[in-house]
Structure 1
Amino acid sequence: MGDIAKGVLGGGWALVVGWVLPASLNLALFFLVVAPNLRRIAVIERLWPDSASQVALLLLGTSVLFGIVLNALQTPLYRFLDGYLLWPRSAYDRGCRRQRSRKERIADLIAQPEGRTPVQSALLNEQLARYPTDDDQLAPTRLGNAIRRFEEYGHNRFRLDIQVLWNELSAAGPEQARRQVETARTSVDFFVALLYGHGVVALALLALPSAGAERPLLVVTAIALCALIPLWYRSAVYATDEWAAAVRAMVNLGRKPLADALGLVLPQQLSEERAMWQLVTRMSRRPYRDAADAAFAPYRAASSDPNPPTHPPGPGA
């Protein structure tokens, strides 16, 4: 039992809280509002559980199932909200222009601090910090920019592309930093799953054939769910602050362990470190070339073996 609890509180906690829990909330709403109308269909009525315990078991099973499916689909779900997937080119460009204008407007307000309290100035700086440093990295949505700001952090500061080297970085980085990243992302996952579920339930309510006194209730519920979607979206944007801080800590604290794990020595000069990480990123993204041997030579750690092999061992070694 202790091993099961440890597994749930470890790797499975992000799945349960980030995807299964919001799926269960949306399914509970669906069961309460939509299911009674669907039971008028003869086939569904015959398949519907007979007791409350069976209904609860059905709700639990479908919640876990939908949570796992949402977790598996998280990349396209995020990419759509970020503005990268299924967005027409015109909408993408228009969104980028709008976000660039918003970033410039916030920066102009920060540059003119007259008449603002320190708290108001801090809030403006917080809003500006949700944008990537490089304007070329701007995304067409607020959530896309809030995520893109820490995706570009390693490359902007150290030329360490965490998009390419994230698995290596998380494997070599401190355990506490890895847990912080997972925990922080769980909050964003929760709101993303919640808003998608609200959208699906609202569509089901509007598409449900019904008449009489029940129809206004279904419409009002659907409108209320649609009104909550912007709230969950904004909550997801705010929740990225902790995610960004955790990724920043992973980059800052994990660079040296990553260099050690790769057999490299972290240079003392920041400019040389940036050059080294650029080489590592390039090596990971491109096919090997002989020029990489000389390029990596200044950064490679000395071998601890006093008699290193001059050639690789044969298959029978």
Structure 2
Amino acid sequence: MGDIAKGVFSGAWALLVGWIVPAALNLSVFVLAVVPTLQRDALVARLWPGPQLKVSLLLLVGSVLVGLVLHALQNSLYRILEGYVLWPNAAYRYGCRRQLRVKHGLRDRIALLRLERRIQEGRAGADAAVQLARLRSTPAVTRHARRDQRRSVAQRALLQEGLSRYPVSDEQVAPTRLGNAIRRLEEYGYERFRLDTQVMWHELTGCVSDQTRRQVEFARTRVDFFIALLYGHGVVASCALAALLSSRPQTDVLIATASALIMLMPVWYWSAVKATDEWAASVRSLVNLGRKPLAEALGYSLPPELQAERTMWTLISRLSRLPYHERTASLDQYRTGSTPPPA
């Protein structure tokens, strides 16, 4: 009973903080700033409750309902911001090229700083001068070279932090910052161990400890919170602008409300991108700690060699994703109690 209560509380906490609380904040702004400016025609007067108690109850019920709807639509909401849904092909390709340039620019700036440090310490190789000239001739590097040289050690670490928000493979780059920040945690298991966490997610989370699983849930809740705020601000700002079309609007209040919400939307977007750092760390812990329990739960023994492990996870992920093929019979060598695979 205690485990059931913990599971219910964990799920309710993620729903409450991630979606219902932002919905309550956005509805409160709508009720306080937009509703009083609307012309009270017969329809509005009939639908809108009068006593303060009824308004508070309406906010509570509306926040829960809107939060539940947002939670149910979360995959679609994420995919829009990641650049996978409702993006024209031309915009998608342009966004990918732009994000790829940003990634390469960060990589080259970090490489230049490291190369200059090795040259100063006398640890550079014979081809250091050629590499230095090539990096300094890159436009994305020359624009920031002088400012990067004045950075402290902590400030230079921020460049590496920005680069870490991109997937390792250039083929996995998404057209938006949020898409790349999420894509890097989605491809972590596959890039390191060939464990496709997108396919094996439920099996993986079912084998780890409750603490590890809760870390992933709570880390994602932070991102959910900012995503819900962003979408809610967009809807409330649109309602405020639409209210300007009424016959006697309070123009100053509506314009101020819409302007403030629109200016806050990039802040919430960037906050969501930053919040993915904790999410990525929790997924990394999930993969590193959960591989061995997952292999044992599936009836396999984790090979001692890394390359053999990568082969095993490739076959297991393929077996879960695709129809059975005779080639997957080679998984027999990794089954518990079978002869160890050759080195």
Give your verdict on TM over 0.5: yes
Match of 2:253 in 1: 217
Q: 2:276 aligns with which of 240, 246, 252?
A: 240
Alignment TM-score, normalising by the size of structure 2: 0.84
Say if 2:288 is the partner of 1:249.
no
Match of 1:91 in 2: 91
Post-superposition offset of 1:35: 1.7
- After TM superposition, the structure 1 = structure 2 runs for residues 167-178 of structure 1, keeping only pairs within 5 Å, are 167-178=202-213
Change (3 A) 1:125 1:300: same
Structure 1: 5+ residue runs without aligned partners? 304-317
Q: Distance in 2 between matches of 1:126 and 1:61?
A: 41
Q: Which amino acid aligns with 1:259?
A: A
Q: Which amino acid aligns with 1:131?
A: Y
Match of 1:52 in 2: 52
Describe the SS at the equivalent of 1:163: coil
Q: Distance in 1 between matches of 2:266 and 2:31?
A: 23
Summarize deviations over 1:275-308 as a string: whole Å, max 9, x none.
Answer: 0000000000111123422x111100129xxxxx
- 128-137 or 106-115, which moves further after superposition? 106-115
Q: Which amino acid aligns with 1:66?
A: V
Q: Which amino acid aligns with 2:237?
A: A
Match of 1:14 in 2: 14
Q: 1:283 aligns with which of 319, 323, 326?
A: 319
Post-superposition offset of 1:223: 1.1
Q: Distance in 1 between matches of 2:285 and 2:307?
A: 20
Post-superposition offset of 1:175: 1.4
Summarize deviations over 1:160-211 as a string: whole Å, max 9, x none.
Answer: 0101110110111221110000000000000000000000000000011345
- After TM superposition, the structure 1 = structure 2 runs for residues 1-317 of structure 1, keeping only pairs within 5 Å, are 6=6, 9-38=9-38, 40-113=40-113, 114-208=149-243, 209-210=245-246, 214-293=250-329, 295-302=330-337
Post-superposition offset of 1:50: 2.8
Q: Percent identity at matched positions?
A: 58
Change (3 A) 1:214 1:5: farther
Describe the SS at the equivalent of 2:198: helix
Post-superposition offset of 1:23: 0.3
Describe the SS at the equivalent of 1:162: coil
CA RMSD of aligned residues (A): 1.8
Change (3 A) 1:249 1:95: same
Alignment TM-score, normalising by the size of structure 1: 0.91
Q: Distance in 1 between matches of 2:151 and 2:232?
A: 40
Q: Distance in 1 between matches of 2:6 and 2:308?
A: 42
Query: In 2, are the aligned partners of 1:131 and 1:148 still within 8 Å (CA)?
Result: yes
Q: Distance in 1 between matches of 2:9 and 2:37?
A: 38
Summarize deviations over 1:5-37 as a string: whole Å, max 9, x none.
Answer: 856632110000000000000000011122223
Q: Distance in 1 between matches of 2:111 and 2:246?
A: 56
Query: In 2, are the aligned partners of 1:15 and 1:67 still within 8 Å (CA)?
Result: yes
Q: Distance in 2 between matches of 1:3 and 1:211?
A: 57
Q: Distance in 1 between matches of 2:280 and 2:324?
A: 33
Structure 2: 5+ residue runs without aligned partners? 114-148, 339-343
Describe the SS at the equivalent of 2:200: helix
Describe the SS at the equivalent of 1:80: helix
Post-superposition offset of 1:48: 1.9
Q: Distance in 1 between matches of 2:7 and 2:289?
A: 26
Post-superposition offset of 1:108: 1.5
Change (3 A) 1:5 1:251: closer
Change (3 A) 1:254 1:6: closer
Q: Distance in 2 between matches of 1:83 and 1:284?
A: 27
- 102-111 or 36-45, which moves further after superposition? 36-45
Q: Distance in 2 between matches of 1:112 and 1:211?
A: 61
Summarize deviations over 1:50-106 as a string: whole Å, max 9, x none.
Answer: 321111111000000000000000011000000000000110010011101111111
Query: In 2, are the aligned partners of 1:150 and 1:248 still within 8 Å (CA)?
Result: yes
Q: Which amino acid aligns with 2:261?
A: L
Q: Distance in 2 between matches of 1:178 and 1:126?
A: 24
Q: Which amino acid aligns with 1:41?
A: D
Query: In 2, are the aligned partners of 1:39 and 1:45 still within 8 Å (CA)?
Result: no
Equivalent residue pairs, number: 301
Post-superposition offset of 1:221: 1.1
